Amino acid sequence: MEIIYSCLRDAHDQGLLWIAALVCVTGVYASISLARHASRAEGNSRKVWAAVAIVSSACTAWATHMVGLLAFQPGMQSGFDPLLTFRSLLLTIFGIGASMGTAIGSRNRLRRAGAGLLLGLSIALLHYLGQAAYLVTGRVTWNLQLVALSLAWSLPLFAAAMVMSGDKRHSLRHLAGPMILSAIALLHFAGMAALELTFDPRISLPESALAPDVVAPIVAAVCATLVVLAFMGLRFALAARAQATRDRSRLKQLADLAVEGLAICRDGTIDAVNGSLATLVGCSQQDLKGKTLSSLLPDTPLSKLSEHQEQDGELVTNDGARVPVRLLRKIVKIGNVDQTVVAIRDQRERLRTEQRMRTLAFTDALTGLANRLQFNQILSASCEKASATGERFALLLLDLDRFKFVNDTFGHAMGDELLKRVARRLTACCGGTTSIARLGGDEFAIIVDEELAQDAAETIIDVLGRPYLIDSSIMDIAASVGIAIGPKDGSTPSILSRSADLALYTAKHAGGSVYRRFEREMSERAQARRQLELDLRRALVREEFEVHYQPQVDPGDGRFQGAEALVRWRHPERGMVPPADFIPLAEEIGLISPLGEWVLRTACEQATGWPSHLTVAVNLSPVQLRDSALAARVMQILQDTGLPGSRLELEITETALLQDEETTYNTLHALRAMGIRISMDDFGTGYSSLSYLRRFPFSKIKIDRSFVRQVPEDRESVAIIQALTSLAAKLNMTVTVEGVETAEQRAFTVSEGCSQIQGYLISRPIESVSIRALFNEPLQSVA
Amino acid sequence: MPLYRLLYRSEIALTGSKDQIDHQIDQIVSASEQSNARSGLTGALIASGGVFIQALEGPLGALEATFEKICLDLRHKRVNLIELAAAEERIFPEWSMIRVAQGAQMIEICTVVGVRESGRLDTSTTSALVSLMRNILLTKSTSSPGDEVAAGASAAYPAP
């Protein structure tokens, strides 16, 4: 070491030595910055700049060496072998190139150490070749010990520097430059010290040797080039830094714009967060820096976070509240470094929305009770529990009597208010623990314990039947309740519901304001009714209907005047089904129109076979009467059958007139215009509005059989018949008395001046063949 | 604001001994006293023979709201609205709610209203009924406890 030091101090021009150091530093900086630029660049420019960096580093080593040699003052004439000097430069370029090629893109320490050795060797080669190219007028001897020592010291330094330059730690990376510098310096000065020159005037410089004066400008030019390159490197570095700053701030802006919370972590410690996360946690971005991620997500360790699938977690905010979040981990390259980014999405709003949607989906918006959907779930759960434990429960179905009336009369707003109050009263009746639902319209359902069912039903009927005072109106409605016990009356929701429904149906038919428990017979009755319905639907096609006729006669002389057509159903198994059993059903299931039309057509057809002065009376149902095409249809039937309109009589009841008076009025007048007579059937049993007699074109009143039954004993019945007969006479209408069964009754009708009678006294309804035979007998009377 | 009067009858559905029931009724009266005072209602309550007869008077909105609360109450059954009609003046201006004490005249009121389970009465009948209630109250507060019968008061309402 002493030798080296003294060599440095004594044998060198101090000024030039400083220049050598400066060149070295500048060159190394230029090389490194250019190499970095190359690493940032892409494609061809990357290769070009890498080559420039390699050449520049080789030139640095060479120029440093040359300036060092120029600084050497051997005390004798000196010169340079041009070929060898140039070769040393080329060799260095190749050596450094090879070393860089080995090291680049590799973190493998062994490989980097190898590259470092390669670098050291090439610089050592440069050095000793360069020294070999240094010619003096004297003898050259080498201190081989020192040479070996220089190599032994500097080569490991090169290797270590290369390894460190590839290290992840910044501090170590920064040490690599100075280490290379010191290795070069060591190599150079140890090499110089190992050189011993002894002046020998016999030795002269060869012809080809270049004088230091010649070499110096070349070296200076190379140095100047290095300075230029260093400036370029500096510019590149500054530009890159500015770009990086811009990128970072843009990235930060972008991250802050993100709705999701983002945390950049290193080893579980938060490096940076975006604004969203800071807001979510409730503190500043700066505060979160340095905290551990587990302080935010105590239940979700970073290692458990998936990189592909979002998962649920809980975030602890600054004030200790727990916020449901969705988490995703991503490894992202930021700069050149892999960082863990954790995306944290606040789920509160979504969960609230979901809750709201669930509430909307499962709640009746008007009353706030459970809706049908939710109730079905509750009922299913109850059924399952019941079949598992055998524990019974009661399903109460209820609907409101007269609700439709309120809705139609007072309007929907009032109907809605009423439903709300009903819901509140139901809740008051059943307490908080029971499941109450509005299934739709005025239909409600309740599930209670079996032993409470009866009390609940009674209370509900009582409380719902109390008056409702709404907007200065008093509304009286009532409730009917059907009770079915699960699993006894049905183990599945649908069977149990049907049972409760049947019980409710029965309660309603009992007049309302009552409850009924489900009984087996209800379902049998319902079954029978369903069967009847099926049969009825098929009966028309299978031609099971027949028209029977009950003759109508003049009570005075007993002459036939016509007959009333009456439909009969000859059921293949049950025989004759009375009209009272199937006409209401036919009305309910919409079969009455085709059936009525069939009866009308058949009666008209068959009446054409009767003597031409006899009429046929056919009943029209309210449904038929509401049809505005009725008149046209009747006209068609008359044309098809050839029956004159004057021989047809259509009977309608008062109730039929109640609905849609306008259409009815038009239809009746159109029928009247065809010569068809209209008679009011069952007069006296319905509304008996006398205004109908004035408004509609009736030609006949049929007095209901109920008035005739007690004639002539009952004074009131007598009075009514007398009044009606005289009324009809004044209105130019004829009167038919129905249900005449005794001779006294007939005599009474004669005395009161009734123009027509009909009843068992004359004949029961008989088949068409029989009535035709009866009408065509020579003596046309039953006197 | 137009004044209305509401009269209803219901069956007491309280359980317990006679004293306990009596106590509960007093509690009902004092609770309704407070809530009526808030909503500007006045009135009186008879609780006798297993039947409540209550008269309420005040603005229609408050009457409707209070009656709905009464209808939500399970402490009585078969609530029957006897009358809801416009009234000239308050019959019980002094009391937001008061219990009409037992007395002979109450039997007469109960025979008109108590036995009826349904149906509304005409205004003249109900007017007479509430006047009678008031008479009992006034007699009660001016005379000694033993002298509860006010002579001639029974003539204030027509025979049913």
pLDDT, tens digit (0-9, with 9 covering 90-100), for A486-545: 899 998 999 999 999 999 999 988 888 999 999 988 888 888 888 888 898 889 888 899
d(CA B59, CA B4): 6
A383-392, A440-449, B134-143, B150-159: least confidently modelled range: B150-159
Asked if pLDDT for residue B149 goes beyond 60, the answer is no
Peptide bond preceding A712 in cis form (omega within 30 of 0): yes
d(CA B74, CA B90) in angstroms, rounded, equals 28
pLDDT in tens, A94-135: 888 888 777 776 778 888 888 888 888 888 888 888 778 887
β-pairing verdict for A261-266 and A337-346? antiparallel
Whether residue B115 lies within 8 A of chain A, CB to CB, comes out as no
Nearest to B60 among A421, A428, A472 (CB): A472
pLDDT tens digits along A62-72: 888 788 778 87
Q: List, as ranges, residues 554-583 from A with C-beta within 8 Å of B.
A: none
Structure tokens at A332: 């992202």
The whole-angstrom separation of Cα B151 and Cα B121 is 25
pLDDT band at A416 (very low <50, low <70, confident <90, very high): very high
Residue B77 contacts A where some CB pair is shorter than 8 Å: yes
A35-42 long-range contacts, CB within 8 A, separation 24+: A35/A100, A36/A233, A36/A236, A36/A237, A36/A240, A37/A233, A37/A236, A37/A237, A37/A240, A40/A240
User: Is residue A349 annotated as part of the catalytic site, yes or no?
Assistant: no
Nearest CB to B78; choose among A462, A468, A469: A462
Report yes or no: B74 at the A interface, CB cutoff 8 Å.
yes
Chain A: closest CA distance from residue B10 (Å): 10
> Where residue B143 falls among pLDDT bands split at 50, 70, 90?
very low
* Of residues A772 and A38, more confidently modeled: A772
Residue B145's pLDDT is 42
**A302 has pLDDT over 80:** no
* CA of A428 vs chain B CAs: smallest distance (Å): 6
Locate the chain B residue with the closest alpha carbon to A423.
B72
Contact A37, A239 (CB under 8 A): no
Position B146 scores a pLDDT of: 40
- Chains A, B: CB contacts under 8 A, how many? 37
Task: Give the separation between CA A624 and CA A622, rounded to whole angstroms.
Answer: 5
Searching chain A, which residue's CA lies closest to the CA of residue B65?
A469
CA distance B85 to chain A (A): 10
Cβ separation of A474 and B77 shorter than 8 Å? no
| Per-residue tokens: A666 | 């038009």
**What pLDDT is recorded for position A290?**
86
Strand locations in A133-233, DSSP E?
134-136, 138-142, 195-199
> What pLDDT does residue A783 have?
47
pLDDT > 90: what percent of chain A? 26
A244-253 in b/e form (b: 16+ CB < 10 A) is: eeeeeeeeee
State residue B37's pLDDT score: 94
**How much of chain A, in percent, has pLDDT values that exceed 70?**
96
Give the residue from A414, A417, A462, A471 with the most B CB atoms within 10 Å of its CB, the best one to mutate: A462
| Interchain pair A467, B67: CB under 8 A | yes
Phi and psi torsions of B127, nearest 5°: -60, -45
**Nearest chain B CA: its distance from A476 CA (Å):** 10
Which of A421, A462, A472 lies at the smallest CB-CB distance from B68? A421
For chain A, positions 429-458, list CB contacts with chain B under 8 A. Answer: 429
Annotated catalytic residue within A651, A654, A738, A752: A738
pLDDT in tens, B81-118: 988 989 889 999 999 999 987 666 666 676 666 555 55
Tell me which of B63 and A122 has the higher pLDDT.
Answer: B63
For residue B160, the model assigns a pLDDT of 36
Residue with tokens 């209907």, as numbered in its chain: A545
What tens digit of pLDDT does each residue of A319-352 get?
888 999 988 888 877 666 778 888 888 899 999 9
